[in-house]
């Protein structure tokens, strides 16, 4: 990607040119001095290449605002800006990032950072957290082999402490083994607090306050998390009530069938004059009426609980709709196509 600048005119054009020539000359002196004074290692070459990229491709105000909001250190800002990050609409984003059946919010591809532009206020903070997550891939990419091995060991130790039930484990279960260290390095940085002194020291190179990122991640998911909690609670209530209704419904049908059979037998015996006394007749009749009243009470209670069950299902469906709508704001494949003039 190239940036075209309109030429300045007259005296202003010349006055802007001289400092640039001086700057390049100064860089050349510094570079030569560095070769003489210290080994020209890959990290040093990368740092200078990054800085030149930043100078020649200055970040937009939007990108600078993200770096400011996430309290990146100077080193992290340089790598972030050098990765030429862009916040993109769905159509453009999907051209840059591979969407393989799961919701993708950002990617680090061909040494560049791409972030899907999530604009829903209920998901505020998603863009910033995603940008930082992708930055972590760029930073990991710049680690030396020895440093990467050291960090991988620290990451593995931290991951071992994460409960097996943590949902992040389910997400990463779909990743190739070769990608796990890099991905966990990014996930730990943005989603997990209190990682131990060595790993925190490593991340402190990049964040003035890493906890701010972790908190921002929680807030960016708060609306979805709240809906998930409500949905889980409703599902539990519906499952429990539904199981009870099924058992009680079966019992009611069995008891009703038995009562109807006994009422039919009672009426037959009454018609045939089989009762030995009026007292026997009245006693059995009263018992049948009592059972009938009890079954009627059960029927009323069953209907009331069935109505409650149906109301809970309707509430769950409404929450599911809200959740689906909100989650779709994170899915670049569901965004409406852009309208061309």
- For residues 284 and 266, the answer to whether their CB atoms sit within 8 Å is yes
Q: What is the pLDDT of residues 213-232, one digit of tens each?
A: 999 999 999 999 999 999 99
pLDDT score, position 25: 34
The residue-averaged pLDDT of 123-145 equals 97
The answer, yes or no, to whether residue 207 has pLDDT greater than 80, is: yes
Q: What is the pLDDT of residues 274-291, one digit of tens each?
A: 999 999 999 999 999 999
The answer, yes or no, to whether residue 19 has pLDDT greater than 80, is: no
Count of Cβ atoms closer than 10 Å to residue 44 Cβ: 14
Q: What is the pLDDT of residues 141-185, one digit of tens each?
A: 999 999 999 999 999 999 999 999 999 999 999 899 999 999 999
pLDDT score, position 99: 76
pLDDT score, position 33: 36
Report the alpha-carbon angle 46-48-49, nearest 5. 60
The residue-averaged pLDDT of 17-21 equals 29
The residue-averaged pLDDT of 253-270 equals 96
- For residues 199 and 158, the answer to whether their CB atoms sit within 8 Å is yes
pLDDT score, position 13: 31
pLDDT band at 337 (very low <50, low <70, confident <90, very high): low
Separation CA 173–CA 96 (nearest Å): 24
pLDDT score, position 241: 95
C-beta contacts of 240-247 below 8 A and 24+ residues apart: 241/305, 241/308, 241/309, 241/312, 242/309, 244/305, 245/302, 245/305, 245/306, 245/309
Separation CA 134–CA 200 (nearest Å): 18
The answer, yes or no, to whether residue 70 has pLDDT greater than 70, is: yes
- For residues 181 and 207, the answer to whether their CB atoms sit within 8 Å is no
Q: Where are the domains of the chain?
A: 36-220, 223-328
Q: What is the pLDDT of residues 136-149, one digit of tens each?
A: 999 999 999 999 99
pLDDT band at 334 (very low <50, low <70, confident <90, very high): confident
Question: What percent of the chain is modeled with pLDDT above 70?
Answer: 86
pLDDT score, position 98: 84
- For residues 191 and 167, the answer to whether their CB atoms sit within 8 Å is no
Terminus-to-terminus CA distance in the chain, angstroms?
25
- For residues 133 and 339, the answer to whether their CB atoms sit within 8 Å is no
The answer, yes or no, to whether residue 120 has pLDDT greater than 50, is: yes
Q: What is the pLDDT of residues 52-66, one digit of tens each?
A: 999 999 999 999 999
Q: What is the pLDDT of residues 105-116, one digit of tens each?
A: 999 999 999 999
The answer, yes or no, to whether residue 197 has pLDDT greater than 80, is: yes
């Amino acid at each position: 990607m190239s940036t075209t600048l309109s030429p300045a005119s007259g005296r202003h054009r010349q006055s802007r040119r001289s400092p640039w020539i001086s700057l390049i000359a100064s860089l050349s002196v510094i570079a030569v001095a560095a070769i003489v004074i210290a080994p020209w290692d890959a990290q040093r070459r990368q740092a200078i290449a990054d800085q030149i990229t930043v100078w020649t491709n200055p970040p937009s105000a939007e990108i600078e605002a993200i770096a400011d909001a996430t309290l990146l250190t100077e080193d992290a800002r340089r790598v972030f800006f050098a990765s030429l990050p862009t916040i993109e609409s769905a159509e453009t984003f999907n051209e840059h990032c591979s969407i393989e059946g799961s919701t993708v919010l950002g990617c680090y591809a061909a040494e560049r950072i791409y972030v899907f532009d999530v604009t829903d206020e209920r998901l505020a903070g998603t863009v910033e957290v995603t940008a930082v997550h992708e930055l972590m891939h760029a930073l990991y990419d710049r680690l030396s082999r020895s440093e990467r091995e050291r960090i991988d060991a620290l990451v593995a130790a931290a991951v071992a402490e994460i409960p097996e039930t943590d949902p992040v484990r389910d997400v990463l279960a779909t990743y190739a083994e070769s990608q796990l260290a890099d991905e966990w390095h990014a996930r730990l940085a943005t989603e997990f607090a209190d990682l131990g002194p060595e790993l925190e020291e490593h991340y402190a190179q990049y964040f003035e306050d890493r906890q701010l990122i972790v908190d921002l991640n929680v807030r960016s998911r708060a609306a979805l998390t709240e809906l998930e909690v409500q949905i889980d609670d409703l599902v539990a209530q519906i499952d429990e009530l539904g199981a009870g209704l099924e058992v009680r419904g079966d019992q009611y049908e069995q008891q009703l069938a038995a009562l109807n059979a006994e009422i039919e037998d009672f009426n037959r015996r009454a018609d045939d004059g089989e009762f030995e006394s009026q007292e026997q007749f009245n006693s059995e009749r009263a018992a049948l009426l009592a059972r009938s009243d009890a079954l009627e009470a059960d029927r009323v209670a069953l209907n009331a609980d069935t109505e409650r069950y149906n109301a809970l299902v309707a509430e769950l469906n409404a929450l599911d709709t809200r959740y689906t709508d909100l989650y779709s704001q994170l899915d670049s494949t569901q965004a409406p196509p852009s309208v061309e003039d």
